[in-house]
Amino acid sequence: MLQLTHIEKTYTTGEIKHQALRDVNLAIRPGTMVALCGPSGSGKSTMLNICGLLDQDYSGVVHFAGELMTRDYQQAMKIRRTQMGFIFQKFNLVPVMSAFENVAYPLQLNGVNSAEVKQRVMQMLDYVGLAKFARYRPDRLSGGQQQRVAIARALVHKPKLVIADEPTASLDSVTAQQIIELMKHLGREQKTAFIVASHDDRMTQHCDRVINLQDGVILQEEAPCVA
Ligand SMILES: Nc1ncnc2c1ncn2[C@@H]1O[C@H](COP(=O)(O)OP(=O)(O)OP(=O)(O)O)[C@@H](O)[C@H]1O
């Protein structure tokens, strides 16, 4: 579903060059949850940006859903909008929009008609346990509730891949556990793959695979503790 072949990434600042990824090769199957771990500076964000087609300035080859990803900005934007979802540590909801409007946004961008938007958003909010909060703006929701809205927003258009950057880092243990289970259930149900950058053992032990990065190189893959 997502395949990275011989990916290399070098940042250039003035005369200084820093190689952030070195010959990264990775294939991710549909519906799998992959944890991306590694110390600060190991290249996790760089890799997420390439997997999420946010950075086109790399060498090597990316295939997504059987298609070769060219460096074309329009192609990348269309694929991100229609086939990918994003979840962030700090939720990144639009503050002036209600929970309903935040979740509706990806569907509206994809031209879904308003009756279907309503039905799909309410179904999704119900799934994440927030149907009653549809009209609430993010500032009236707890961190865990905001992350549920963000999960609903990331998955409402049934993407093939969700990129999640430290999705549980701002949450307490109980809420983090609920969020992990929610991501896992939704991912399995919709056959959505996840790439989750995380330092959080609570997260990584629930992933199907754990990829460790160090100095831009993938180390041998670890088996997670829990299936
Ligand atoms: N825009 C940039 N310009 C120059 N160097 C960069 C840039 N972005 C990242 N780097 C360097 O590339 C390396 C990998 O950075 P990256 O942000 O991908 O690591 P990370 O594993 O996500 O770190 P963290 O866990 O702290 O977010 C680091 O050495 C970093 O300093």
CATH number for position 136: 3.40.50.300
Pocket residues: Cβ below 6 A from ligand 1: 11, 13, 18, 20, 38, 40-46
- Asked whether residue 203 carries a pLDDT value surpassing 50, the answer given is yes
With CA atoms as reference, report the closest residue to 4 among 39, 41, 55, 42: 55
Is 1 part of any domain? no
Give the total number of structural domains in the chain.
Answer: 1
Q: What is the pLDDT of residues 147-166, one digit of tens each?
A: 999 999 999 999 999 999 99
CA 140, CA 148: separation in Å to the nearest integer? 14
Is 60 part of any domain? no
Domain that holds residue 151: 29-54+73-218
Atom of ligand 1 nearest to the CA of 9: 12
Model ipTM value: 0.96
Q: What is the pLDDT of residues 10-35, one digit of tens each?
A: 999 999 999 999 999 999 999 999 99
State the distance from the centre of ligand 1 to the C-alpha of 111, rounded, in angstroms.
36
- Best probe residue, ligand 1, of 15, 21, 42 (max atoms within 8 Å of C-beta): 42
Q: How far is CA 178 from CA 8, 203, 206, in A?
A: 36, 11, 12
Q: What is the pLDDT of residues 51-105, one digit of tens each?
A: 999 999 999 999 999 999 988 999 999 999 999 999 998 999 999 999 999 999 9
Is 18 part of any domain? no
Is 8 part of any domain? no
Query: Closest Cα to atom 2, ligand 1: which residue?
Result: 11
Is 214 part of any domain? yes
Is 66 part of any domain? no
Residue 205's pLDDT is: 86
Is 11 part of any domain? no
Q: Considering the entire predicted model, what is its pTM?
A: 0.92
| Averaged pLDDT of the chain | 92
Query: Closest Cα to atom 29, ligand 1: which residue?
Result: 41
Is 178 part of any domain? yes
- Asked whether residue 223 carries a pLDDT value surpassing 50, the answer given is yes
Query: Closest Cα to atom 6, ligand 1: which residue?
Result: 11
CA 137, CA 10: separation in Å to the nearest integer? 40
